[in-house]
Amino acid sequence: MWGKSKPKPEAAATELSPAADEYKVQAEDTIFLILGQSGAGKSTFINHAIGEHVASVGENLSSHTVHIRPYSMTLDSGRRIVLVDTPGFNDTYASDREIMQRIIDWLSTRCSPKMKFAGIIYLHEIIQTRTDPETNLMHPTKLSKPEAPKYVILVTVKWKEMKDPESVGKLRETQLKAQWKKMSDHGSQMSRFEDTTESARAIIDMFQVDPIEVEEIQEELRRILALLPPQAADRKDHGEGFISKLFGKLTNRRRRRLRTSKRSGTP
């Protein structure tokens, strides 16, 4: 799947700024959203996947990525994928709700209707002393639709920072798997990121489901945000959350289209 030559990343785009948008997302691109809390290493993952230092990496807990930034690479097959670097959740400079809005705006304005959306790579630090998925509004465990988990891969990161990865690290991984069981039972996968290009690309290769057309969700994105109360980002008991609503709308529309196609006899 991956060629031996070093892929050439496109220039990054400043969020919703046409004048600075050197990189143009193309209709045939396949989109991967890279999500996670501030400091989880989203930019680091992208740099390893592409094989070059293209994304800025922060050295503190504040999110170094302020804007939505896409980075593309071409696979050995000629297919082009786009890894989308996003601001970290629980950031000191923006609420989860603001970050949500940025992601929605980017998908709505930068992606063409027929573009393919492959799924979400959600990074989780294995060095965290707690693995409480309910403290974050945007955490994928709030997914409720049966098809949705197939489009999410949970990736544990920062294994090299563990003082005792063979005991403490594995214990935390076991705890996380238990919390992730509802997701894994419905097709979601878990993986370790080993801070190498091979590891990052292997994680991308784990997506085996058919990508979704972006037009299936664009019409619903702003409605989803409108359903959230103004203080949603600060509430731990807030219902399904953004990702759940996003995939819920998406899968419902796909089922309706399939039923319509069967009735009309069209493929």
DSSP string, 52-119: S--S---SSSS-S--S-EEEEEE-TTS-EEEEEE-PPBS-SSS-HHHHHHHHHHHHHHHS-TT-EEEE
| pLDDT tier at 84, thresholds 50, 70, 90 | very high
Q: What are the backbone dihedrals phi and psi of residue 198, each rounded to the nearest 5 degrees, phi first?
A: -60, -40
Q: How many helices (H) and strands (E) does the chain have?
A: 7, 7
Residues 126, 163: contact at Cβ < 8 Å?
no
Tell me if 8 is assigned to some domain: no
Instruction: Report pLDDT digits (tens) over 230-255.
Output: 654 444 434 345 555 556 555 566 66
- Look at the chain and report how many structural domains it folds into: 1
Mean pLDDT computed over every residue of the chain: 73
Confidence of residue 90 (pLDDT cuts 50, 70, 90): confident
* pLDDT value for 245: 57
Largest CA distance in the chain: 61
State the pLDDT at residue 244.
Answer: 57
Confidence bin at 4 (pLDDT 50/70/90): very low
pLDDT confidence of residue 215: 66
Maximum mean pLDDT: which of 73-82, 163-172, 190-199, 219-228: 190-199
Asked if residue 1 is part of any domain, the answer here is no
The pLDDT of 55-61, averaged and rounded, is 64
By percentage, how much of the chain surpasses pLDDT 70?
60
Residues facing 30 on adjacent strands: 81, 116
- Is 196 within the bounds of a domain? yes
Per residue in 114-166, pLDDT (tens digit) is 788 888 899 999 988 654 544 454 556 555 455 667 888 999 999 999 888 88
**CA angle at 100 for the pair 98 and 103, rounded to the nearest 5°:** 115
More confident residue, 11 or 77: 77
Using CB atoms within 10 Å of the CB of residue 102, give its burial: 0 to 12 exposed, 13 to 18 middle, 19+ buried.
middle
Higher pLDDT, 218 or 264: 264
The pTM for the full model equals: 0.77
- Determine the residue type at 215: E
Q: How many residues does the chain have?
A: 267
Domain that holds residue 180: 18-264
CATH of the domain at 193: 3.40.50.300
Confidence of residue 67 (pLDDT cuts 50, 70, 90): confident
Q: Does 251 map to a domain?
A: yes
Residue 148 amino acid letter: A
In a domain, 97, yes or no: yes
Q: Which range, of 17-21, 107-111, 125-129, 188-192, averages the lowest pLDDT?
A: 17-21
Which comes out higher in pLDDT, residue 265 or 128?
Answer: 128
pLDDT band at 88 (very low <50, low <70, confident <90, very high): confident
Looking at the domain assignment, is residue 6 inside a domain? Answer: no
Reply yes or no on whether the pLDDT at 267 is more than 70. Answer: no
Residue 3 in domain: no
